[in-house]
Structure 1
Amino acid sequence: MSKKPKKTQHFALIDDLASFIGRFVVLSDEQRLVMAVYVIHTHIAKRCQQTPYIFIHSPEPECGKSRLMEVLDVLVREPWMIVNPSDAVLFRKVNDSMPTLLWDEIDAVFNPKSAQYHEEQRGMLDQGHRRRGRVPRFIGDKVKEFDVYCPKVFAGIGTLPDTLSRRSIPISLKRRRPDEPIDEFIYQDVVEEAAPLVERVEAWAAEYGKTAANDRPSDLPERISDRMKEGCFSLFAIADLAGKGAELRKALDTILTGDRLDSQQTMRTRLLRDLRTVFAMRYRDSGKPMKFLPTDEILESLIGFEESPWSDYYGRELEAKDLATLLEQYGVKSRQVKYQGEPRRGYSREPSKAGDVEGLADVWTRYLGEDDTQVVIGSRRDA
């Protein structure tokens, strides 16, 4: 029977890690707890079957993303801080040493303009959350399978591709207010201060890592997707051993359901919701259902929404090509119709007569889980 640590001992370790991280970056209590547990996870990840990713993001620069990565750099197991690595370097480093990948400025890689040039890296990251994740490549005259599994932390402005966001715990940062003090970060000093903490984490991992890695926690938050639950098994196991299981469950539930990068609301589903709102607003204003809206009018409405990502979509306003890319996987395409007496290109609620282009109304019902007609009627009644 596996020996379990004293809860008070482990309880203090998590609290001390959370306190240390919070000295240098403004985080919520929930975020500090998640990051502290994740630090411990990186030290036992080699025993785990899966790892969740962390995505540190903010709407603007200078919100603490890089600083949080620097703090992690002195705490996690075998940190590897990178910016824009080549495919060859990325594949070989992860395969050879299974580091904790700390990838800063990832928005420079996966933005609409450059994402097409980094499909190799995205494929590697898509597979790298699972222990048996391997990507075959032809090297010289032989096929080599690269092991791409390792803990991964990303930082950037905006969003990740959908497949990565579903595997990632989002840590949303805001620019620090003057009344939110933090300690000065001098790297060499911080390394020395972190050393005793790292030793405690390593000692715990050596004695109890196998227990945590093989545990299958129960009573996980229902709103967390099955994929995320499986990836977070070790996080919950670590917290359970510390007597902090309930706190972590609440923290992750709050973070995942409150952040727009939650797997239940990717950028595409956010767009579907906002498009439906645009059509409902036009119904409210005109008094009649809108079967079609031109692309330029849709974009103007989306960009005008407060607290929406469309006015700062990878550092610029959402464009027609972005709209087309986000909707194409649903089978929705723009078409040219006669609108207010003139031929205009835009999007329709109903499918094309030939059936080769989906209509928005059907897609809304399928992916948003509500009857679109009732939503529009409700919007009209509330006007």
Structure 2
Amino acid sequence: MPDAPATEGAELLAQLKALIAKFVIPPSEEALVATTLWVAATHLQPAWQHAPRLAVVGPAKRCGKSRLLDVLTETVHKPVLTVNSTPAAVFRSITVEPPTLLVDEADTIFGTPKMAEKNEEMRGLLNAGHQRGRYVLRVVGNDHTPHQFHTFAMAAIAGIGDLPDTIMDRSVVIRMRRRADDEQVAPYRTKRDRPALHELRAKLALWANPLAEQALRLEPTMPVEDRAADTWEPLVIVAELAGGPWPRLARQACVRMVASETQAEEDNPSGARILADIRRIFFGSGDPDSLTTDQILFALNSDPEAPWAEHGRGGLLARGLGAMLRDYGISSGNVRAGEIQRKGYTRNKFADAWRRYCPAVHPLDPREGSES
């Protein structure tokens, strides 16, 4: 289907995309499209049910994370830049007309388990603010009157390494990379470059404001489901309102970036990777009714491309396996191994978790139905 003719919105988005690319080298064309749409979506926040986070993460310093945040600060709606701010200060900055939160150096907040535990209130605030109607309740004044504080606001969060899973799950994830020698960007200078960015921000606001009611009522066809659809819907709606090539580009970016994060989650030992690998072990063994713990551990630790052999001095052990599976409601029990009883896992205990967390690892056998 050919793209619709270019409109004012499509041209504004093209200008914004070019300005971002002038100062930052994104990891992919899809990431650049997503960032452009996210910026434009901040100017229509009253229309959204969900406020997508933009997780700007990278494996090391000098990947362009802070530079991208510099550009976002000058183009988003009502920017509130926070570095090591307290949760109380942040939620007191959010009003009924949401600002756009810009959180830099998030690794100083969530970088280690100890830091994350200390900053659990900030994580809760960022999680709650993803959906409209979630409030923080605090007492104020000398008489300690209970007061509801707003949390709903779009937020860009930049840092080294992944953010907590609950935030990543609510985010459009931009995985920045260090610039190669042959990749060139213009140096960013606030006094020199800010006026052009502000001019474009003003044009985006003028274009978006009259479209708020239309944005509120649009129900676009989404290429993904569940929370990913909630997170990407504002970006797809902005693309629909802009027209031109943007509806196609938005859905293409959505599909590819969500699939990439799904794969990253499977590859992450703390995610559903353990379920997917055990499913392959059952399938490769002919889908028996049960396997012993020793059989499962031997197969996991013998896979040279899996992380399990590096789980400790002896690889993944029974205690660690049990702790991972407990999160999914799966526990071990006595199973028959030849003529004796051994500790192990029955296949039927995995069925629900496999269906929910890794449905496309391989075709299901007839006992579970078939996959499309």
Q: Same fold (TM over 0.5)?
A: yes
Equivalent residue, structure 2, for 1:189: 192
Identity of aligned residues (%): 30
1:283-310 deviations in Å (ceiling 9; x for gaps): 8xxxxx97225999899778x647x799
In structure 1, list runs of 5 or more residues that go unmatched: 1-5, 284-288, 313-317, 336-346, 352-357, 376-383
Gaps of 5+ in 2: 334-342, 366-372
**CA–CA distance in 2 between the matches of 1:60 and 1:310?**
25
Mapping of residues 1-383 of structure 1, within 5 Å:
7-27=6-26, 28-95=28-95, 98-110=98-110, 111-140=112-141, 141-212=144-215, 214-221=216-223, 224-243=224-243, 244-260=246-262, 267-274=270-277, 291-293=292-294, 305=305, 327-331=325-329, 349-350=345-346, 363-364=353-354, 367-369=357-359
Q: 1:295 to 1:57 in 2, by over 3 A?
A: farther
Shift of 1:20: 0.5
Amino acid at match of 2:18: S
CA distance in 1, matches of 2:108, 2:278: 27
- 2:177, 2:199 → 1: CA distance? 30
Secondary structure in 2 matching 1:155 = strand
**CA drift at 1:280:** 8.6
The 1:218/1:135 distance shift into structure 2, 3 A limit, reads: same
| Structure 1 residue identity aligned to 2:57 | H
- Give the match's secondary structure for 2:113: coil
Per the TM alignment, residue 231 of structure 1 is displaced from its structure 2 partner at its CA by 3.9
| Contact residue 300 and residue 308 of structure 2 kept, 8 A | no
Q: Distance in 2 between matches of 1:234 and 1:366?
A: 25
Structure 1 residues 226 and 361: CA distance shift in structure 2, 3 A: closer
Q: Larger relative CO (CA 8 A, sep 6+): 1 or 2?
A: 2
Distance 1:359 1:39, change over 3 A: same
1:348-368 residue CA offsets vs partner (Å, 9 max, x unmatched) = 5459xxxxxx97787546632
Deviations 1:139-179 (A, max 9, x none): 35221111101111112233333332222111122222112
Report if the CA contact (8 A) 1:25-1:64 is conserved.
yes
For these two proteins, the number of residue pairs brought into alignment is: 343
Amino acid at match of 1:62: R
2:200 counterpart letter in structure 1: L
Residues 160 and 40 (structure 1 numbering): CA distance in 2 closer, same or farther, change over 3 Å?
Answer: same
Change in 2 beyond 3 A, CA 1:360/1:147: same
Amino acid at match of 1:254: R
Tell me which moved more, 34-43 or 125-134: 125-134
**Structure 1 residue 201, shift from structure 2 partner:** 0.9
State the Cα distance separating 1:263 from its structure 2 match: 8.2
Per-residue deviation, 1:277 = 6.1
Q: TM-score, normalised by structure 1?
A: 0.73
Partner of 1:379: none
Answer yes or no: is the 8 Å Cα contact 2:140–2:146 preserved in 1: yes
Q: TM-score, normalised by structure 2?
A: 0.75
State the Cα distance separating 1:56 from its structure 2 match.
Answer: 1.4
Deviation by residue 1:77-121 (Cα, 9 ceiling, x = unmatched): 121222232121122122487321111222332342322222222
